[in-house]
Structure 1
Amino acid sequence: MKQCCPECGHVAPLTAFAAEADAREALAIAMRLPGQLGDSVLRYLALFRPAKRALAWSRALKLLGQLATDIDRGYISRHGRDWAAPVDAWRDALHTVVSQREALTLPLKDHSYLYEIICRGANRVEAKAEQAVEDKRRARKRGAPEPAAPASPEAPTTGGPNARRRPPVTDAMRDQIDAAIAATKSSAQPTDNEV
């Protein structure tokens, strides 16, 4: 079945017009990506192009849809877990894949290599954070002093920097404490009947 373009009058099979709709939708998705990713994503998509023909718009749309979904979520699911994938991780991973074009077997079939690079990067970030926590724990275990919060003279503190501040002790409070101590001592004295 043939269709006619309403703008220019070009007559073509219906599938040609369907591809045009895919092209518009793919470009709309690419334009919604964060600014620094648009160019890198388009260069990355070129790695999916078969050697002797153009990348079909339907395929480009599918690939862009997968990427856009994961970029918007901020994480990817791989190896049975979710990996953090902020925009900077996407930018670095896309750059890495595109720069290794000569070493890759083209055309790419899926996003596996890109996602593996993101996983490795997230793993390095997690390892650094875990190492910092371990170093802090070891320092506490060895008794190394942690930096203390400055204490104000009117509110002395006990404990570490997270301890609650005690209110200042007034003369009236001291009198109440002394009276309570005296009452405790007098009631603790044995009577003649107890001895």
Structure 2
Amino acid sequence: MKLGRCPVCHSHLHLDALIQDDAGSELLGLLASLGRPLARPLVQYLALFRPAKSDLSNARALKLAQDTLAIADRDSLIAGLQDTVRSLHEKRQRGETKPLKNHNYLKQVLASVAPDARKPGAESDSNRPTSWEKKQGVEETPEESRRKWEAQMRRLGVDPEQFNTKRNTGG
């Protein structure tokens, strides 16, 4: 069954060929279950393991994906994978082209972030500018951030006060 064309190389994609290999089929199922925010950087990360003169086997890609998912929680992985891919792509542009052999680089990236900052919704991280914002010189205070958020919510027709967590309990 022909699916269409590859957006990169424009060769024909056939669904039956993709699922013929058990590891390839399992890898596709795993990636589909993750959702785009995690699957996309994971695929980019897996590509960093590909040897220069050959392809990465589906079995190896599946094992690497499973091992990667076991390293940290979803939110930490999304940020860690994005930082790792960005950093290693920059290195490769400078001529350092060796493929990854293990997950040590990703583990270092994840360890460089404070454990509290990796937790989803952690207050210590909620007002901290991202590394991209720091590089671009786009830092804003928590008050500016809150004011912008409230303005955006009002434009969307939502009362931002309904999300106010500082409630007077009358104690």
What TM-score do the two structures reach when normalised by structure 1?
Answer: 0.45
Deviations 1:105-164 (A, max 9, x none): 5210011111121122134738x96xxxxxxxxxxxxxxxxxxx754xxxxxxxxxxxxx
Task: Tell me the matched-pair count.
Answer: 102
Report sequence identity in percent: 33
The equivalent residue for 1:106 is 98
Partner of 1:48, secondary structure, is coil
> Which residue, out of 53, 78, 89, partners 2:76?
89
Aligned counterparts of 2:90 and 2:103: Cα–Cα separation in 1:
17
Aligned counterparts of 1:93 and 1:118: Cα–Cα separation in 2:
6
Aligned counterparts of 2:76 and 2:114: Cα–Cα separation in 1:
8
What TM-score do the two structures reach when normalised by structure 2?
Answer: 0.50
Which structure: larger Rg?
A: 1
Shift of 1:52: 0.6
Q: Which runs of 4+ in 1 moved over 4 A?
A: none
What is the Cα-based RMSD across aligned positions, in Å? 3.0
Amino acid at match of 1:102: E
Deviations 1:77-104 (A, max 9, x none): xxxxxxxx44222111111111112326
The equivalent residue for 2:55 is 54
Gaps of 5+ in 1: 1-17, 71-75, 77-84, 130-148, 152-195
Amino acid at match of 2:106: L
Structure 1 residues 103-112 or 117-126, which shifts more? 117-126
Alignment of 1:134-149 (within 5 A): none
The equivalent residue for 2:31 is 30
